[in-house]
């Protein structure tokens, strides 16, 4: 199934919830809608589903205009942040409900299969109220998968679950999506989640669609600073610089040997992902001496805020590291691992192949 939106926008009174955009989803693939809260993700998904009608523009399914067709007349499955199950039905009947509506055969076998994949087979005879939040969300996901709709929309389905359960379910969903044939749209605020799900990513910000393409390409080649900010966690370090004979000149005389387009003389912004900064030197690295402002451990990584001559930067170090506040530290950066944006905030140079 191919879903296409042509110059679609959404106005609610005097407010613009979605600016005009064009988007054609890759059929049978996962598309992640990535953006902060109120970026327009839910508005866009509601237009895709037929829950709302765009103020302008056309929604097409396989070339057919379905702009005014309501959701009940479309074959769409949806999963929301807040799990929605039928409270008076058992888990089995919740999952089986779309199969029964289609009068399918082998319902019990299909329900058992989905329950096993989502590890809820011990709860099939229970009511949703007897389950934990994570278990209830698994039921909602199983029912959506049972519908086997050509279009599946998931609006931050894991956001209200604890970290461990989110990780577990995300891995399971990736496998389930890969095994199915549905076109999947998955909304999230987390860049890491987009990278783990893979497929394609549409980056949104303040009601605008900024970039759409293969997830790895959008991550490595964000077309603007706005995209880079949305697709970086922790935020990308941004440093003002200027074109120089060697390539780029940064504050305090720091020089980066980065080839620039010919005759480029405007002011630049250098983007450095936190993961591109290291505490161990490698050949070709540029040294950035400074002092520790803050060090925090998150999971298996350590985030170090360092005051350097080019400004405060954040480094993401693999493993657990301990630093004293105000202690001297030297970070290292390879010039091939920087993004360079022009004075308008558009990508000028991306990291070399294999860079961060």
- Read off the pLDDT band of 354 (50, 70, 90): very low
- 143 belongs to a structural domain: yes
The average confidence (pLDDT) of the chain is 92
- 14 belongs to a structural domain: yes
- Read off the pLDDT band of 264 (50, 70, 90): low
CATH number (domain holding residue 189): 3.40.50.300
Q: Which of 230, 265, 298 is the last residue of a domain?
A: 230
Model pLDDT for residues 92-138, shown as the tens digit of each residue: 999 999 899 888 899 999 999 999 888 899 999 999 999 988 888 88
Distance CA 309, CA 201 (A): 35
Q: Are residues 206 and 241 in the same domain?
A: no
CATH number (domain holding residue 252): 2.40.50.140
Q: Are residues 19 and 115 in the same domain?
A: yes
Say what the pLDDT of residue 356 is.
54
Q: Are residues 151 and 189 in the same domain?
A: yes
133 vs 82, higher pLDDT: 133
Say what the pLDDT of residue 101 is.
86
Does the structure show a pLDDT above 80 at 204?
A: yes
% the chain with pLDDT above 70: 98
Q: Which residues pair with 107 in a beta bridge?
A: none
- 178 belongs to a structural domain: yes
- 65 belongs to a structural domain: yes
CB 95 within 8 A of CB 115: yes
Q: Are residues 186 and 323 in the same domain?
A: no
Does the structure show a pLDDT above 60 at 177?
A: yes
Q: How many C-beta atoms lie closer than 10 Å to residue 313's C-beta?
A: 21
% the chain with pLDDT above 90: 72
Q: Are residues 119 and 249 in the same domain?
A: no
- 356 belongs to a structural domain: no
- Read off the pLDDT band of 20 (50, 70, 90): very high
- 354 belongs to a structural domain: no
For the segment 180-192, the average pLDDT, to the nearest whole number, is 92
Q: Are residues 75 and 181 in the same domain?
A: yes
Does the structure show a pLDDT above 80 at 283?
A: yes
Q: Are residues 193 and 256 in the same domain?
A: no
Residues 339, 340, 342, 343, CA torsion sign: positive
Q: Domain of 322?
A: 237-349
Q: Are residues 81 and 55 in the same domain?
A: yes
Q: Are residues 200 and 256 in the same domain?
A: no
Say what the pLDDT of residue 164 is.
77
- 53 belongs to a structural domain: yes
pTM: 0.90
355 vs 95, higher pLDDT: 95
* Least confident stretch, 158-162, 221-225, 229-233, 274-278: 158-162
Q: Are residues 223 and 244 in the same domain?
A: no
Does the structure show a pLDDT above 80 at 81?
A: no
Say what the pLDDT of residue 130 is.
93
For the segment 325-332, the average pLDDT, to the nearest whole number, is 96
Q: Which of 203, 230, 257 is the last residue of a domain?
A: 230
Residue with tokens 């350590």: 302
Q: Are residues 148 and 18 in the same domain?
A: yes
Domain count, the chain: 2
Distance CA 81, CA 104 (A): 29
Q: Give helix then strand counts, H and E, for the chain.
A: 8, 20
Q: Which of 230, 250, 279 is the last residue of a domain?
A: 230
- 87 belongs to a structural domain: yes
Q: Are residues 214 and 103 in the same domain?
A: yes
For the segment 195-223, the average pLDDT, to the nearest whole number, is 96
């Amino acid at each position: 199934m191919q879903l296409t939106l042509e110059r679609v926008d959404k106005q609610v009174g005097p407010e613009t919830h979605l600016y005009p955009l064009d988007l054609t989803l890759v059929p049978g693939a996962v598309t992640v809608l990535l953006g902060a809260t109120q970026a327009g993700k839910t508005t866009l998904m509601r237009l895709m589903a037929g829950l709302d009608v765009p103020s302008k523009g056309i929604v097409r399914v396989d070339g057919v205009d379905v702009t005014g067709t309501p959701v009940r007349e479309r074959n769409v499955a949806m999963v929301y942040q807040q799990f929605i199950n039928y409270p008076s039905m058992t888990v089995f009947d919740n999952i089986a409900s779309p199969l029964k509506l289609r009068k399918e055969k082998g319902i019990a076998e299909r329900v058992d299969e989905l329950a096993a994949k989502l590890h809820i087979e011990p709860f099939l005879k229970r009511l949703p109220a007897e389950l934990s939040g994570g278990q209830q969300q698994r039921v909602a996901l199983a029912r959506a998968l049972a519908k086997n709709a050509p279009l599946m929309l998931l609006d931050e389905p894991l956001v209200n679950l604890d970290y461990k359960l989110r990780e577990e379910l995300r891995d399971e969903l990736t496998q389930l999506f890969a095994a199915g044939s549905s076109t999947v749209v998955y909304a999230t605020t987390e860049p890491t989640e987009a990278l783990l799900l893979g497929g394609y990513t549409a980056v949104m910000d303040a009601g605008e669609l900024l970039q759409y393409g293969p997830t790895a390409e959008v991550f490595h080649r964000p077309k603007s600073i706005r995209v880079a900010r949305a697709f970086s966690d922790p935020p990308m370090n941004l440093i003002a610089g200027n074109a120089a004979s060697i390539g780029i000149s940064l504050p305090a005389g720091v020089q980066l040997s980065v080839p620039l387009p010919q005759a480029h003389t405007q002011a630049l912004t250098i983007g450095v992902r936190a993961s591109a900064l290291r505490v161990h030197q490698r050949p070709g690295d540029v040294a950035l001496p400074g002092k520790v402002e803050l060090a925090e451990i998150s999971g298996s990584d350590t985030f170090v805020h360092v005051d350097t001559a080019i400004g405060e930067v954040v480094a993401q170090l693999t493993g657990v590291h301990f630093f004293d506040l105000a202690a001297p530290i030297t970070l290292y950066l390879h010039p091939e691992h920087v993004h360079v944006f022009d004075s308008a905030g558009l990508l000028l140079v991306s990291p070399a192949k294999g860079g961060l």
